């Protein structure tokens, strides 16, 4: 399949990209592909066109915050960012990358705080849960449209800070709250990338896409099921949800929520 995709990429009228969450490839007319990207980037609520390269400014701010954290605690240490970085390039899904090690470090620190009562990490885990499920009922799958670009970044940062610093059920992270907030802002609202036309944009979406998406949907699920009757089965994997309930009306109720 990989060799076939390589050959198809030689066709000027065709664009080949890897599909999300699978090993499959997506083939799309190049003109249509660029038109879709232009329409996506035209949403000023998610993307802002830049007139300069902010990468050095971002490095200075990140390093100043990292130094603050390192002075405040011996429990967690952040490396100072050094070296040159080039801007990320937009390939279909706008998932820009900040300095890689900073994003990776935050991801490892915050993953234990992600609400995961209803989520699964793999198809094998999903099948394992299905084996013990009821044998009757109405089945449906739900999907969140354009999930990664529609996750409310500011709200999700607030939810993360609430969970990390004010939730009695979780240990407080030994990082000053203001410093963590600054690093999350740098890795999301300050992440920039270039496009095929050499324009530079700053994304209002998150380069920590999976963590932000899982965190936000996990909090929503916790709050909804604190007052709503739980379906016979409810399993989520990022933006895909499997629901089993006694009737079609119960499915519609879950979907409306």
Q: What CA–CA distance (Å, rounded) separates 172 from 167?
A: 8
- Who has greater pLDDT, 200 or 60? 60
pLDDT at 126: 82
- Nearest CA to 204 among 251, 255, 151, 126? 151
Residue 123: CA atoms inside 13 Å, Cβ hemisphere, count?
Answer: 2
pLDDT at 179: 94
Looking at the chain, the whole-number percentage of residues with pLDDT higher than 90 is: 18
179-204 average pLDDT score: 72
Q: For all residues of the chain together, what is the average pLDDT? A: 77
- Nearest CA to 249 among 137, 145, 136? 137
For 49-82, letters b (16+ CB in 10 Å) and e give eeeeeebeebbebbbebbeebbeeeeeeebeebe
pLDDT band at 181 (very low <50, low <70, confident <90, very high): very high
Residue 1: CA atoms inside 13 Å, Cβ hemisphere, count?
Answer: 10
Domain ranges of the chain: 1-41, 42-256
- 14 - beta bridge partners? 29
List pLDDT tens digits, range 39-51.
777 777 777 777 7
**Which helix or strand (DSSP H or E) is residue 15 part of?**
strand 14-18
pLDDT at 48: 76
pLDDT over 90 (residue 34): no
Cα 226 to chain centroid distance, Å, stands at 24
How many residues can be counted in the chain?
257
pLDDT at 165: 96
Q: Is 167 left (phi over 0), alpha (psi -120 to 50) or beta?
A: beta
Range in 18-22, 82-86, 173-177 with the lowest mean pLDDT: 18-22
pLDDT at 129: 79
List pLDDT tens digits, range 51-60.
778 888 888 8
145-167 average pLDDT score: 86
């Amino acid at each position: 399949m990989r060799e076939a995709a390589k050959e198809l990429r030689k066709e000027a009228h065709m664009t080949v990209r890897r599909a999300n969450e699978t090993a499959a490839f997506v083939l799309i007319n190049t003109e249509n592909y660029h038109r879709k990207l232009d329409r996506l980037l035209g949403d000023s609520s998610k993307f802002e066109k830049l007139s300069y390269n902010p990468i050095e400014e971002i490095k200075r701010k990140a390093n100043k915050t990292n130094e603050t954290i390192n002075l405040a605690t011996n429990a967690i240490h952040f490396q100072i960012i050094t070296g040159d970085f080039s801007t990320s390039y937009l390939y279909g899904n706008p998932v820009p990358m900040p300095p890689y090690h900073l994003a990776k470090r935050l991801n490892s620190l915050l993953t234990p705080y992600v609400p995961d009562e209803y989520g699964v990490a793999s198809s094998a885990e999903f099948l394992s849960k299905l084996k013990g499920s009821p044998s009757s009922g109405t089945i449906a799958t739900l999907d969140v449209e354009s999930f990664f670009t529609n996750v409310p970044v500011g709200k999700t940062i607030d939810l993360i800070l609430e969970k990390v610093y004010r939730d009695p059920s979780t240990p407080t992270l030994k990082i000053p709250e203001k410093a963590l907030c600054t690093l999350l802002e740098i890795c999301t609202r300050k992440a920039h990338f270039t496009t095929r036309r050499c324009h530079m944009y700053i994304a209002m979406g998150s380069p920590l896409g999976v963590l932000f998406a899982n965190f936000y949907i996990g909090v929503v699920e916790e709050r909804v099921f604190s007052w709503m009757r739980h379906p016979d089965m409810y399993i989520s994997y990022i933006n895909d949800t499997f629901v089993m309930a006694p009737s079609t009306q119960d499915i519609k109720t879950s979907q409306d929520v």
